[in-house]
Amino acid sequence: MKVVEEDFYKAIALLKAGEPVAFPTETVYGLGAPVFNEAAVKKVFAIKGRPSDNPLIAHVCRMEEVERLAVEIPEAFYRLAKAFWPGPLTIVLRRRPEVPAIVSAGHPTIAIRMPSHPMALRLIEAVGEPLVAPSANLSGRPSPTKAADVKEDLKDRMVLDGGECSVGIESTVISLVGPKVLLLRPGSVTQEEIEAVLGEKVGVASKNDPVHSPGMKHAHYAPRAKVRLVLDETQIGEANYLIASEPVGSAPLFDRSNFYSRLREADRLGVEEITIYCDPKMQQDAGLMNRILRAAGLMH
């Protein structure tokens, strides 16, 4: 999809003036603001209605920018970046004191990712500093995977239209700040892929882990409709609105790339309950299952 050049320059001007702008990444759309502009970062929290204890991800367009944000960068970081960047992996490092604390909700750490969407890279480059960007939805709603989804939640906010996101769920988040590498949020880059690059086992952060993923304790990804999850096809029964990972009658199909958009569709139709049928193969997708369980209120 082509963005008109004019929109692009408008987006740069707004960002430089401290006005948040939504832009596409390969995972989901993000609501961007320059990382060193504290007032603009504050606006991002306000616009989304995001709890102030939930830290943001800084998006970079080149490796040197990581050193503007983080200190004591371990060797494992470079190996992971080489393997997965640009792409859907976010890495938590120790924050440089010059980076406003609000970005990380006061934590001494900073989450960093280099997205692969060309429009995101171009925007970060043009603004001249990393952009914080949480998903561009109202806090708690399913993440937006196309420009119209952003408009639905954020009304008059400018959004650069970069078409549909190819990945469709948020990035994998891992932490390199503790004694052990920890997976904080599953995504399309899998735990096994990370372990293969590092040559070591990765721990998985649990809910009770005081350490890290503050975002995981908040309600997330939920449509307004009630969600009923079915893992065995024979249990589907009388579903009034069904989405399925494998053909079941004429039910709309879903996969990782359109899952959120199916939830939003159901909400637009005003259905009271969505039944989600997830076949055994899809159940192996840890990133997608995490979002489905949260949408169904089965995981917090």
- Contacting positions for ligand TXA (CB under 6 A): 25, 27-28, 30, 54-57, 88, 90, 92, 104, 107, 109-111, 113, 115, 133-135, 170-171, 173, 184-185, 212-216
Q: CB 162 → Mg ion: shortest distance, Å?
A: 18
Question: 133 is in the binding site of which of Mg ion, ligand TXA, none (Cβ under 5 to 8 A by kind)?
Answer: ligand TXA
Residue with smaller CB distance to ligand TXA, 179 or 270 = 179
CB of 25 to ligand TXA, least distance (A): 5
Residues that bind Mg ion (CB under 5 A): 135
Measured from the CB atom, the residue of 149 and 170 that comes closer to ligand TXA is 170
Could you tell me which of 132, 111, 116 has the C-alpha nearest to residue 27?
Answer: 116
Query: Residue 109 touches which of ligand TXA, Mg ion, none (CB < 5 to 8 A by kind)?
Result: ligand TXA
Binding site partner of 227, from ligand TXA, Mg ion, none, Cβ cut-off 5-8 A by kind: none
Question: In whole angstroms, what is the distance from residue 195 CA to residue 296 CA?
Answer: 29
Q: Work out how close the CB of 135 gets to Mg ion at its nearest, in angstroms, rounded to a whole number.
A: 3
Supply the minimum distance, in Å, between the C-beta of residue 134 and Mg ion.
5
Name, in order, each residue with C-beta under 8 angstroms of 226's C-beta and a sequence gap of 6 or more.
272, 273, 274
Residue closest to ligand TXA, measured at CB = 215
Q: Which is nearer to ligand TXA, 37 or 54 (CB)?
A: 54
Q: How far is the CB of 194 from ligand TXA (least distance, A)?
A: 15
Nearest CB to ligand TXA, comparing residues 185 and 294: 185
- Minimum CB separation of residue 98 from Mg ion in Å reads 26
